Chains A and B, each alone.
Chain A
Amino acid sequence: MLASGPKKMPLNKEPLTKVEIDKLSEWIREGARFDEHWSLVPPVKKQQMESVHPVPAETGIDQFIRDALKQRGLTLAPKATPPILLRRLHLDLTGLPPSIEQVKRFEANPSEAAYRSVVEELLASPRFGEKWARHWLDLARYSDSSGYQHDDLRSVWPYRDWVIRAFNDDKPFDQFTIEQLAGDLLPDATIDQKIATGFHRNSAVNLGGDIDLAESLHMIRVDRVNTTGTVWQAATWGCAQCHTHKYDPFTINDYYSALAFFSQAEDDVVLAGDGSLRKRNGGPRVELPVAPEAKAEHAVLVSRRSGLERELGLSKERAIRDQARWEASHAADTTLPGNIRKILAVSPAQRTELDSFRLREFYLDKDPETSRLKAELDSTVQRLTLIAPETFVMAEKKAPTRTHVLLRGNLGSPGPEVAASTPKAFAPAWSGFSPNRLGLAKWLVDRGNPLTARVTVNRIWAEIFGQGIVLTSEDFGRQGEAPSHPDLLDWLAVEFMDNGWSMKHVIREIVLSSTYRQSSTVSAEILSVDPANRLLSRGPRFRLEAEAIRDTILAASGLLSHSLGGPPAYPAQPDNLWSEISGADVDKYVTSSGDDRYRRGIYTIWRRGNPYPSFLNFDASPRLDCTARRIRTNTPLQALTLLNDPVYTEAAAALATLLMDEAETSGPGAALETGFRRVAARRPSEAEAEVLRDELQTRVNHYRLNQAKAKSLSVRYSRSSSADPANFAAWFSIARILLNLDETVTKG
């Protein structure tokens, strides 16, 4: 900088001004201190704030929020009204709205003690785990299919149920971490601890015939490193796959040292074993215990399965021997698909591997014996997975794979060998930990790790307030956002660890705070000062997540099934959606019947290639990889979903029936109020009640004049055969209005 001539820095840029040079010189004279990035310094609780703000019945949280508000001349907003607050609490702790009876009880006694007792009751509800598992399953990229082109279905739902149970049991987060990353490596691992390791079996897996086995396996390991970095460290480790991280202290060596934890695990993907290049999900799995009454059938099915597998193998061998003859006789067959005819036109020796494979697949599908056996095997396996479900787990290889740095991330350019270790610049130091997944897990939940607790409490905060204290919950690095309330974040992190890593403790602290209990009503004035509510100048108000919208509407209409856990459910979805991916292994979607149609969103089948569209329209992630934060949009497609999705139409019909019955006994006014309270918890204002009354009357008149239409609606949707068609059609209209209100799909 001070040099003259061509050596003068900065290179080829405008020289610095004298003021800038003086500042830098002073900084160097003072020792050139360069503070470490905030998130890499362990959190500590700053002074006890209680003495500064002796406000009764507040948690530590409020003092930090009040302080920041005060600096802008603001204060906390008034408390939300009892029905609004209770609805918010129910949605946050269980993902479901309260019943009208629950609201009325709380309205009658909205005391501090009553509120606290509701908090405890909801924290203990089995619905709590169903709600809180959702965000974790996004992080865990939990899905019922493998992804990529074939996108075959797989059984990992016991892992999903494990997560739900873990939240319900308030499994301490350190243990929660250890079991998911390394449950199999714990001494005398229980079956549950093994199921937990399904966490890293959730990687999307490419089973195509057109990908190298080694690359397919490598991609899985890469996903595991990146996911671990995001979930526990909110670190963008993935950036260092090809080169040392541009902004954070994470080198390419660090990346492959982390990858070495996962190259010791057993391979997930193996060749399909049928002579083709197709692959299948391999790797270890555990079978859930069979119920005593199913034991006999289980034994029969197991023996049938192995018999069929043997027969199918033989049948394929026989068919393959005949393939040349078949090819000769079909060389000029114009009924074959174009791509197959093209392959046939090339002599076998000249065909690419991929084409030979495609031809073989096609040919085997055509072979009657082979396809019959395959269908029989499929149905046997399907039945078996129902009575003895298995689930993917992790286990270590006997002889671990060596791990090399891959130069520029290229699998073809191995560099120096590395040993399993955590990033050098991240605390705590990597020594004294065993060099395997168990060591990694213990390192992550070590008190000296500055990130894990912060990252976790931030995510809990974001679930409740709609945004984290660090907005970029996926990135606590230099490229992420700085925390809005850094001392609060640290306070919560320490509080979390001091209380045995209890997630319920953190959630309780939050929902008991005055910050949480504020009204979300906002004036234009406050909106201009705190537009995005970063300062928490009001209570949270934002649209519910996709699953909660489904749950809320089904609950409000009385359809919701309360059964817990088990295989995925198949709610009604648009026709033929599953046949849209060419080459996918499964193309039929069989809609669940009975109560299973109305299960909570968390149990909806999650297929990566074509996820349940109703959820996608509300920003659910296809879970191709780890999703730390869903975006929240507001689109016409959402309106169309709520208006026209047959699931919601069915819910409206059920709600209409309930309300119509109530109108019979208590009159239309009372029924309208019930309907409104079922979706919004609060009583409608006079203006709102009037809109609904007018609408009911207008629609009754309309349908009286249009009897044919009313009749057709009634025949199609009414759940009670005796109802007057015009009356039903009008209530159906009211129910649809109620289920489409902004308030119905919003936590306010």
Chain B
Amino acid sequence: MEISQDILALQANRRAFLSGSAFGLGSIALSTLMATSKALGAEAPVSTHFGAKAKRVIFVYLIGGPSQVDLFDPKDELRRLDGQKIPESILATSKFPFISGTPNLMGSPYKFARHGQSAAHFSELLPQFASVADDLAIVRSMQTEEVGHAAAELFFHTGFARLGRPSFGCWTAYGLGTENQNLPSYVVLSGQPTYAGSNTWGAGFLPSRHQGVKFRSGQEPIFYLRNPEGIDADDQGSVVDAVNRLNRHQATQVGDPEIETRVSQYEMAFRMQSSVPDLMNLKTESPSTLDQYGAKAEEPSFAANCLIARRLSERGVRFVQVCSNNWDHHEDIYTALPRACQQVDRPLAALIRDLKQRGMLDETLVIISGEFGRSPVVQDTAPNGRKGRPGRDHHKDAFTTILCGGGAKPGVTYGATDDLGMKPVENPVHVHDLHATALHLLGIDHKRLTYRYQGRNFRLTDVHGRVVQEILA
């Protein structure tokens, strides 16, 4: 697909959208809060390569890398060998950034049980989430290539370990366009900074309007969202309208495509001024829904963000990313991990149930993952040199990623790791494969979604990627 078509489509729609008077502009924005308003000129989705199962994605990013052997991938042998040195032959093919010498194996202290008809394994730390086991596709053989946070984060998001490539969400927005002209097509809900900063959801070489827009928690999710004092929607609408008329004129004179982007960003900004406060207002949710998530209407939390993610998906936002931090358990993992699990257990279960109940799960692909997993061996010296409170180091060779809805096969556990949880022994799934599979579910052939830059056609999956057929419904 060519970007020029993209621009042409946008121009055509904009003309329709802005042809009314300044009054019309304000009233249109107010009346098009929900995604059902395609007739009013939402950007026509770019045609997909084949039938899509999923229309949108919710990506729950567990920043820091959760411990798969304590949550999803029980290892009896690891438990049996707890405290023994890892065999040198195995160590030689592994890479742990913060462990020196030959570390000991560390079994999980948590009880595992099988849940649902699918008999999927969960540890006792995620009792609520385990109750939706039959909706999940659990991939226990995920692999990435990086052991450092920033690099692994970029790799997981962009398929490339250094700065400059578009994030997965941006590719999705670029490939499918938006279903809601009042909100960005890629929204990030994150209370804490990520390791690679805004580059994690950056557009790289794609047109910058596809980049993720971060919403802050609390009263004003976006700075400068409110009109200046005394200025009403009509005043504001007339300013935006005149600015864009002049900018469009300038675009025809100068030819710089960046001006087109600015025009569309002004339109988006204006619409966001009414759509975002409405979206963030959780008071319109029923008490039982709030309770299901464990969210409070006016208190920022991961639970509230999961609920906002559902609201964003409902409004047609293509890609929503919800971040949870506190998963980087280098030390004191047995105190920290239960705490982190407690934050996400109920909201994750609620999100999936809620989507299902509203008939949205079939069209919404939920992906839950860290940028990597954690080592089956102990890290007994914290990064700051403190000893004594055991933790786990980064682990790139085998970790667990969960898919759900949007055409992912429910109730399946895919891939298996060796007895120590060090490497996959069956059906390894690389980050590129995950990207290929997710795009496939969105109706996109990952080999054909390209963008030409510096004389080369770039893809999210570079020259790699295999659609994992076995986890498709």
Interface positions of A (Cβ within 8 A of B): 211-212, 214-215, 242, 407-413, 479, 520-524, 527, 532, 534, 541-543, 574, 613-614, 617, 631-641, 643-646, 649, 685, 687-688, 691-692, 695, 698-699, 702, 709, 712-713, 716-717, 733, 736-737, 740-743, 746, 748
Are A636 and B213 in contact, CB atoms less than 8 angstroms apart? yes
Given A411-B385, A635-B265, A643-B269, is A521 in contact with B250 using a C-beta cutoff of 8 Å?
no
Are A635 and B223 in contact, CB atoms less than 8 angstroms apart? no
Contact with A along B233-258 (1 / 0, CB 8 A): 01110111011011101100111111
Are A639 and B269 in contact, CB atoms less than 8 angstroms apart? yes
B222: interface (CB < 8 Å): yes
Contact partners of B101 in chain A: CB under 8 A: 413
Are A413 and B224 in contact, CB atoms less than 8 angstroms apart? no
Instruction: Tell me the complex Cα distance, A532–B456, Å.
Output: 13
Instruction: Tell me the complex Cα distance, A737–B222, Å.
Output: 22
Which of A211, A215, A242, A649 contacts B228, CB < 8 Å? A649
B328 nearest CB across to chain A (Å): 15
B427 nearest CB across to chain A (Å): 20
Which of B199, B238, B261, B454 contacts A634, CB < 8 Å? B261
Instruction: Tell me the complex Cα distance, A631–B205, Å.
Output: 11
Contact with A along B393-435 (1 / 0, CB 8 A): 0000000000000000000000000000000000000000000
Which of B227, B232, B242 contacts A709, CB < 8 Å? B232
Instruction: Tell me the complex Cα distance, A55–B83, Å.
Output: 78
> How many B residues touch A, CB cutoff 8 Å?
63
Q: Pick 16 A–B contacts, CB within 8 A, sort by A.
A: A410-B98, A411-B384, A520-B256, A523-B255, A541-B258, A574-B223, A633-B211, A634-B258, A636-B266, A638-B265, A639-B265, A641-B223, A644-B224, A644-B225, A649-B228, A741-B250
Contact partners of B462 in chain A: CB under 8 A: none
B339: interface (CB < 8 Å): no
Are A687 and B249 in contact, CB atoms less than 8 angstroms apart? yes
Closest to B243 in A: A740
Instruction: Tell me the complex Cα distance, A740–B228, Å.
Output: 14
Which of A521, A532, A574, A643 contacts B236, CB < 8 Å? A643
Closest to A638 in B: B265
Which of A215, A412, A479, A743 contacts B100, CB < 8 Å? A412
Are A521 and B255 in contact, CB atoms less than 8 angstroms apart? yes
Closest to A406 in B: B100
Are B100 and A742 in contact, CB atoms less than 8 angstroms apart? no
A14 nearest CB across to chain B (Å): 16
Instruction: Tell me the complex Cα distance, A479–B164, Å.
Output: 13
Are B227 and A644 in contact, CB atoms less than 8 angstroms apart? yes
Which of B97, B98, B99, B208 contacts A635, CB < 8 Å? B208
Given A242-B97, A411-B385, A691-B245, is A633 in contact with B208 using a C-beta cutoff of 8 Å?
yes
Are A408 and B261 in contact, CB atoms less than 8 angstroms apart? no
Within B260-288, which residues are at the interface with A (CB < 8 Å)?
Answer: 261-263, 265-266, 268-270, 272-273
Closest to A474 in B: B163
Closest 5 CB pairs of A and B: A639-B269, A636-B269, A644-B224, A649-B228, A636-B268
A588 nearest CB across to chain B (Å): 19
B231: interface (CB < 8 Å): yes
Instruction: Tell me the complex Cα distance, A643–B386, Å.
Output: 50
Instruction: Tell me the complex Cα distance, A473–B202, Å.
Output: 19
Are A574 and B220 in contact, CB atoms less than 8 angstroms apart? yes
Instruction: Tell me the complex Cα distance, A534–B453, Å.
Output: 12
Contact partners of A633 in chain B: CB under 8 A: 202-203, 208, 211
Are B454 and A742 in contact, CB atoms less than 8 angstroms apart? no
Given A412-B385, A541-B256, A644-B227, is A636 in contact with B247 using a C-beta cutoff of 8 Å?
no
Instruction: Tell me the complex Cα distance, A636–B386, Å.
Output: 45
Are B239 and A733 in contact, CB atoms less than 8 angstroms apart? yes
- The total number of A-B Cβ pairs within 8 Å is 169
Instruction: Tell me the complex Cα distance, A642–B100, Å.
Output: 51
Contact partners of A737 in chain B: CB under 8 A: 239, 242-243, 246
Closest to A624 in B: B197
B207 nearest CB across to chain A (Å): 8
Which of A532, A617, A635 contacts B209, CB < 8 Å? A635
A682 nearest CB across to chain B (Å): 11
Instruction: Tell me the complex Cα distance, A698–B235, Å.
Output: 11
Are B384 and A215 in contact, CB atoms less than 8 angstroms apart? yes
Closest to B255 in A: A522
Are A691 and B254 in contact, CB atoms less than 8 angstroms apart? no
B379 nearest CB across to chain A (Å): 11
Given A733-B235, A736-B239, is A640 in contact with B224 using a C-beta cutoff of 8 Å?
yes
B119 nearest CB across to chain A (Å): 37
From B22, B99, B224, name the one whose CB has the most chain A CB atoms within 10 angstroms: B224
Are B239 and A712 in contact, CB atoms less than 8 angstroms apart? no
Given A412-B100, A574-B223, A688-B249, is A634 in contact with B255 using a C-beta cutoff of 8 Å?
no
Instruction: Tell me the complex Cα distance, A687–B100, Å.
Output: 70
Instruction: Tell me the complex Cα distance, A521–B252, Å.
Output: 10
B167: interface (CB < 8 Å): no
B80: interface (CB < 8 Å): no
Q: Apart from A637-B222, A639-B270, A733-B235, what 11 extra A-B contacts exist at CB < 8 Å?
A: A212-B385, A411-B384, A534-B454, A574-B224, A633-B202, A635-B209, A637-B213, A644-B227, A691-B249, A698-B238, A743-B250
B359: interface (CB < 8 Å): no
Are B238 and A211 in contact, CB atoms less than 8 angstroms apart? no
Contact partners of A643 in chain B: CB under 8 A: 224, 227-228, 236, 239-240, 269
Given A527-B257, A713-B230, A748-B254, is A635 in contact with B235 using a C-beta cutoff of 8 Å?
no
From A637, A687, A716, name the one whose CB has the most chain B CB atoms within 10 angstroms: A637
Are B231 and A521 in contact, CB atoms less than 8 angstroms apart? no
Are A688 and B246 in contact, CB atoms less than 8 angstroms apart? yes
Instruction: Tell me the complex Cα distance, A574–B219, Å.
Output: 12
Are B262 and A408 in contact, CB atoms less than 8 angstroms apart? no
A12 nearest CB across to chain B (Å): 13
Contact partners of A520 in chain B: CB under 8 A: 254, 256
